[in-house]
């Protein structure tokens, strides 16, 4: 928490000379409304994402693997999930883009559960960049649905698949019923629908998940 407060102290200097005095408590992440802090969070997350991406390449240099491993050992995923509390769409989008490049083997059950809870916590799917955030989440769990090599994939299908399918169908129905006013909103709506369809298609290739989808056929009546 001290590093977080130090970070805020530095960002405040850029636009308020006497802001955030040492005696003042740092706001919780869900109340962080400082645009400079948001920009700094995004830059840090993008840097983490860069090392995640590079470490996964077949031609990756050892330094990228070493940094990625160090980030993992220092609870990278926990820090990223904490950043989802920040009330800023661009921060959230940077987080899920980074999570999409984290190796599936490094997700534990608690983190998978957090991802599924995110799907159910979005009350207004048309607000801001919510469609893109949700879309990226569906691409992440699509990879988990297809993954046969890691425990995270097996755990997702066994423990979270049914809930994920339920959330996917509910969000798809809500998304298809929305009326959009301009081309950008239409593109965001399409991106979300396509990601859900790809997820459901991946589920249909698994016998157990396919049965759960059949049990939800009433959703489309």
pLDDT in tens, 102-121: 889 889 999 999 999 989 88
Structure confidence at residue 23 (pLDDT): 44
- C-alpha closest to that of 119 among 87, 167, 166: 167
How many residues would you count in the chain?
Answer: 221
Q: Digits of tens for pLDDT over the chain (221 positions)?
A: 567 777 777 777 776 555 544 446 778 888 888 888 899 999 999 999 999 888 888 787 888 888 888 888 888 888 899 898 899 999 999 999 999 998 898 899 999 999 999 898 888 888 888 999 999 999 999 999 999 998 999 999 999 999 999 999 999 999 999 998 889 889 999 999 999 999 999 999 988 888 888 776 665 55
The torsion of the CA quartet 101, 171, 120, 159, rounded to 10 degrees, works out to: -70
Q: Is 192 helix (H, G, I), strand (E, B) or coil?
A: helix
9 Ramachandran zone, left/alpha/beta (phi>0; psi -120 to 50) = alpha
pLDDT digits (tens, 9 = 90+) for 62-77: 888 888 888 888 888 8
Q: What is the widest separation between alpha-carbon atoms in the chain?
A: 61
Residue 24 confidence (pLDDT): 62
How many Cα atoms sit within 13 Å of 203 on the Cβ side?
Answer: 28
Q: What's the confidence (pLDDT) of residue 1?
A: 57
């Amino acid at each position: 928490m001290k590093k977080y407060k130090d970070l805020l102290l530095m960002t405040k200097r850029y636009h308020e000379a006497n802001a955030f005095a040492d005696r003042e408590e740092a706001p919780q992440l869900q109340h962080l409304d400082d645009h400079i802090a948001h920009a700094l969070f995004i830059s840090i997350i993008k840097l983490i994402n860069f090392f995640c991406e590079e470490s996964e390449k077949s031609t990756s240099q050892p330094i990228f693997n070493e940094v990625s491993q160090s980030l993992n050992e220092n609870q990278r995923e926990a820090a990223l999930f904490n950043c989802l509390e920040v009330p800023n769409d661009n921060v959230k989008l940077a987080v899920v883009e980074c999570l999409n490049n984290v190796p599936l083997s490094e997700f534990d059950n608690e983190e998978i559960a957090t991802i599924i809870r995110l799907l159910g916590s979005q009350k207004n799917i048309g607000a801001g960049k919510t469609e893109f955030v949700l879309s990226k989440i569906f691409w992440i769990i699509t990879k988990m649905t297809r993954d046969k090599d890691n425990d995270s994939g097996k755990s997702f299908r066994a423990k979270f698949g049914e809930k994920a399918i339920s959330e996917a169908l509910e969000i798809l129905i809500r998304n298809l019923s929305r009326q959009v006013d301009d081309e950008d909103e239409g593109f965001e709506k399409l991106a979300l629908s396509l990601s859900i369809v790809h997820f459901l298609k991946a589920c249909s290739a698994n016998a157990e998940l396919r049965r759960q989808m059949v049990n939800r056929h009433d959703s489309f009546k």
